[in-house]
């Protein structure tokens, strides 16, 4: 079984918007008060807070006269907020996510409804505490919405004012894709979004750069508006809409690129890039963030798992750019501005990105033939493993100590 989600545009009427806005506010209150209590208890006693304790605290909140409005909304999204916060702390302590933050009324608002708080019969969706059905637009003609049995419904309002409803349900895993017998290495970059070991380039569309002029104009207008004014609210919506167009275009591009790679290759080898560290470079931060490397890797991971492909992630310290893919010679230094170089050992002329992609796929193949961690001293791990093996410091050395040389059609 796999978890599948369908996200649709929603069009609540005025009364439903008021009910949902009240629900969003109650979810924020429960989340923020529970998070503040967690932090205060840890600072005073050095102890964590269990889910059962937060559940009892929610009951106490509902009995507080100042928080009597919590009883006017469905209790299910409030309970879900506690569960999500508990999961967020579990992910933080497992070093999979950052520390949970307080929710703001100015950001994306959402409420999660389980089966006890909604009904979906014949494609008609009704939420708890609402009188009329919630109108939405179904965008998948090949899927019969009347036959769906969702486990959860998520209603959200984005910062640009659009409403969405998401149906999440468990479905049978799709059939694995037919084998292609092909392995590919991918070197991600800024000049080209990706360069493959086959020599193909995936152009970087630079979505943010294309919208930067309009976005800058909207942001200057927003900065000139008075705080709290109606014109400032309108200007803020225009900024949010401009960001939404960039975000949607980037996501669509990443889905097309990742789907094509998963469909055409049995094994995909990529590098474990330290994106959070790379964006600290103020000269490249915006260009790197615009690429969406983290989202691209996430899409590759779940699509490979879903369709029977294999994703191999080699260690971030593996010197893929500085190693000759023809003979294995390792350069001592290679500046970022050097896009082509000649191997001092065998005289082969290399394009920096294509050479790196060839080395990446060779390391992935070596890891498949041997135990993980044997690719030139640099750790190799498969998707699903959270541990990154440390790389061994390497010095310039003869060809015999290099990576496996590509032979024939490998």
Active site residues: 187, 271, 353
Contact 33, 26 (CB under 8 A): no
Residue 68 has which token pair?
């009597």
Tell me the DSSP string of 223-236.
HHSPTT-HHHHHHH
**Which 3 state secondary structure label does DSSP give 59?**
helix
Question: Is residue 252 within 8 Å of residue 205, measured between CB atoms?
Answer: no
State whether residue 278 is helix, strand or coil.
helix
SS3 388: coil
Burial 225-254 (b: 16+ CB within 10 A, else e): eeeeeeebeebbebbbbbbeebeeebeebb
> DSSP states of 24-40 as a string?
HHHHHHHHHHHHHHHHH
The partner residues of 350 in beta bridges, in order of sequence, read 341
The residue whose two tokens read 């292609």 is: 180
Helix runs in 226-343, H state only? 230-264, 275-278, 285-291, 293-306
Helix (H) or strand (E) holding 8: strand 2-10
Question: What is 73-141 written as a DSSP string?
Answer: S-HHHHHHHHHHHHHHHHHHHTTSS-------TTS-EEEEEEGGGEEEETTEEEETT-SSPBPEE---T
Four-CA torsion 395, 400, 402, 408, nearest 10 degrees? 160
Here the tokens at position 61 are 């909140």
Which residue has tokens 């000269």? 283
CA distance 293 to 298: 9
């Amino acid at each position: 079984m796999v978890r599948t989600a369908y996200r649709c545009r929603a069009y609540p009427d005025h009364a439903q918007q008021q009910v949902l806005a009240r629900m969003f506010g109650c979810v924020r209150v429960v989340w923020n008060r529970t998070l503040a209590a967690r932090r205060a208890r840890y600072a005073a006693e050095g102890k964590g807070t269990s889910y059962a304790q937060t559940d009892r605290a929610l009951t106490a909140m509902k009995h507080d006269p100042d928080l009597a409005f919590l009883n006017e909304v469905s209790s299910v999204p409030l309970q879900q907020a506690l569960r999500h916060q508990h999961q967020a702390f579990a992910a933080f302590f497992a070093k999979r996510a950052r520390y949970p933050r307080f929710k703001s009324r100015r950001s994306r608002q959402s409420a999660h409804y389980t089966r006890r708080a909604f009904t979906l019969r014949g494609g008609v969706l009704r939420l708890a505490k609402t009188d009329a059905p919630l109108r939405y637009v179904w965008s998948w003609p090949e899927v019969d919405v009347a036959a769906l049995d969702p486990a959860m419904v998520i209603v959200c309002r984005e910062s640009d004012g659009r409403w969405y409803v998401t149906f999440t349900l468990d479905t049978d895993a799709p059939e694995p894709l037919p084998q292609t017998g092909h392995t590919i290495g991918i070197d991600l970059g800024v000049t080209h979004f990706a360069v493959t070991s086959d020599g193909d380039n995936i152009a970087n569309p630079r979505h943010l750069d294309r919208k930067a002029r309009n976005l800058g104009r909207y942001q200057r207008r927003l900065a000139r508006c008075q705080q709290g004014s109606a014109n400032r609210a309108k200007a803020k919506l225009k900024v949010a809409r401009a960001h939404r167009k960039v975000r949607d275009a980037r996501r669509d591009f990443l889905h097309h690129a990742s789907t094509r790679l998963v469909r055409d290759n049995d094994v995909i080898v990529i590098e474990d890039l330290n994106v959070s560290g790379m964006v600290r470079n103020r000269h490249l931060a915006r260009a790197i963030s615009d690429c969406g490397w983290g989202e691209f890797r996430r899409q590759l991971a779940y699509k490979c798992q879903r369709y029977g492909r294999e994703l191999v992630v080699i260690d971030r310290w593996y010197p893929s750019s500085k190693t000759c893919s023809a003979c294995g010679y390792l350069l001592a230094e290679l500046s970022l501005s050097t896009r082509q170089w000649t191997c001092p050992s065998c005289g082969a002329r290399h394009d920096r990105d294509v050479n790196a992609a060839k080395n990446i796929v060779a390391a992935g193949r070596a890891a498949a033939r041997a135990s993980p961690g044997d690719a030139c001293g640099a750790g190799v791990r498969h998707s699903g493993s959270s541990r990154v093996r440390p790389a061994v410091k390497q010095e310039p050395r003869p060809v015999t100590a290099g990576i496996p040389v590509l032979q024939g059609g490998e």
